[in-house]
């Protein structure tokens, strides 16, 4: 089977020299397709993940951003809103917006490990020993069932908790909902924008490392693989 973008991006150095002849722009676009959760969920279907689960994770990310923004609304925030007579102070809200865009990444990383199967299938595809293919297939199926079960249990618990907290928050602090919504749009929008800049970096190391194979710039190549994991 042909290698997809994920497999090419995870190549060892020797395999990349032999099979990966993409330009900087092609590599950059491949990172956006596979790593940017908006494009990956709705526009990319060449990986080994369930489209439904990818879309499910995308909306859970938004809900988490919503809830975590609400968690940062404390007495100081409410006092600041009162002092500003209800006007929106972006500079004051900025640290909270940044935190609220970064913290969901931890929870989403856990859900990605449980709900996404791309890496597992790539590992199975690259398995050298094919002697016990029936046993491997059975064990792999059991592994996926356990992962999916844990994914839906953990994600359901999180959603119920966030729903309950947001319901209480919006009922008690009804006058702050507009500020909260502005924070959500800003933090979630920030999380959609920053990957466009982050994924400019890996290609700056990867492409030069593969340009002259005889020089064996393995350290540059490995550095690009570390950065692309962000």
Cα angle 176-181-185, degrees, rounded to a multiple of 5: 155
Q: Residues with Cβ < 8 Å from 93, sequence gap 6 or more?
A: 179, 182, 183, 186
* Helices 90-115 and 177-198, packing angle to 10 deg: 60
Specify whether 20 is located in the same domain as 105: no
10: closest CA among 47, 65, 54, 56? Answer: 47
Specify whether 86 is located in the same domain as 11: no
pLDDT of residue 124: 82
pLDDT tens-digit readout, 18-74: 888 899 999 999 999 999 989 999 999 889 999 999 999 999 988 888 888 888 776
Specify whether 110 is located in the same domain as 136: yes
- Global pTM reads 0.83
Calpha distance 63→147 (Å, rounded): 22
Specify whether 64 is located in the same domain as 93: yes
Specify whether 23 is located in the same domain as 92: no
- Total domain count, the chain: 2
89: pLDDT confidence band, cut at 50, 70 and 90?
low
Mapped onto helix, strand or coil, the DSSP state of residue 41 is helix
Specify whether 101 is located in the same domain as 125: yes
In a domain, 132, yes or no: yes
Specify whether 119 is located in the same domain as 174: yes
pLDDT of residue 123: 81
Please indicate whether residue 21 or residue 87 has the higher confidence score (pLDDT).
21
101: closest CA among 198, 187, 181? Answer: 187
pLDDT of residue 152: 93
Cα angle 127-133-134, degrees, rounded to a multiple of 5: 145
Calpha distance 130→128 (Å, rounded): 6
Cα atoms in the Cβ-side hemisphere of radius 13 Å centred on 101: 19
pLDDT tens-digit readout, 129-155: 666 777 778 888 899 999 999 999 999
The whole domain housing 96 covers 48-194
pLDDT of residue 82: 63
36: closest CA among 77, 72, 5, 70? Answer: 5
For the chain, the straight-line distance linking the first and the last C-alpha, in angstroms and rounded, comes to 28
Q: Which of 60-69, 156-165, 195-204 is the least confident region?
A: 60-69
77: pLDDT confidence band, cut at 50, 70 and 90?
low
pLDDT tens-digit readout, 4-26: 899 999 898 988 998 888 999 99
Would you give the distance in Å from CA 190 to the centre of its chain?
13
185 secondary structure, DSSP code? H
194: closest CA among 41, 6, 35, 24? Answer: 35
Please determine, for residue 113, whether its predicted confidence score (pLDDT) is greater than 80.
yes
Q: Residues with Cβ < 8 Å from 18, sequence gap 6 or more?
A: none
8-22, 70-84, 97-111, 211-225: which is most confident: 8-22
Specify whether 74 is located in the same domain as 144: yes
User: Mean pLDDT, to the nearest integer, of 207-221?
Assistant: 84
**Token couple for 118:** 């791309």
Share of the chain above pLDDT 90, in %: 33
């Amino acid at each position: 089977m042909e290698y997809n973008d994920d497999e090419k991006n995870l190549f060892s150095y020797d395999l990349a020299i032999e099979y990966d002849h993409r330009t900087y722009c092609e590599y950059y676009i491949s990172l956006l397709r596979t790593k940017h959760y908006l494009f990956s969920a709705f526009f990319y279907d060449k990986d080994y993940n369930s489209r439904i689960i990818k879309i499910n994770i995308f909306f859970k990310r938004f809900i988490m951003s919503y809830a975590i923004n609400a968690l940062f609304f404390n007495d100081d925030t409410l006092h600041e809103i009162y002092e500003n007579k209800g006007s929106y102070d972006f500079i004051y809200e900025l640290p909270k917006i940044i935190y609220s865009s970064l913290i969901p990444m931890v929870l989403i990383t856990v859900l990605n490990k449980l709900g996404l199967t791309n890496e597992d299938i790539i590992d199975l595809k690259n398995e050298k020993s094919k002697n016990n293919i029936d046993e491997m297939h059975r064990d792999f199926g059991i592994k996926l069932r356990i992962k999916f079960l844990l994914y839906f249990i953990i994600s359901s618990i999180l959603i119920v908790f966030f729903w309950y907290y947001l319901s209480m928050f919006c009922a008690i602090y009804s006058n702050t909902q507009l500020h909260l919504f502005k924070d959500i749009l800003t933090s979630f929008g920030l999380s959609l924008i920053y990957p466009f800049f982050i994924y400019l970096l890996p290609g700056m190391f990867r492409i030069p490392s593969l340009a002259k194979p005889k020089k064996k710039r393995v350290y540059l190549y490995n550095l690009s693989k570390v950065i692309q994991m962000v």
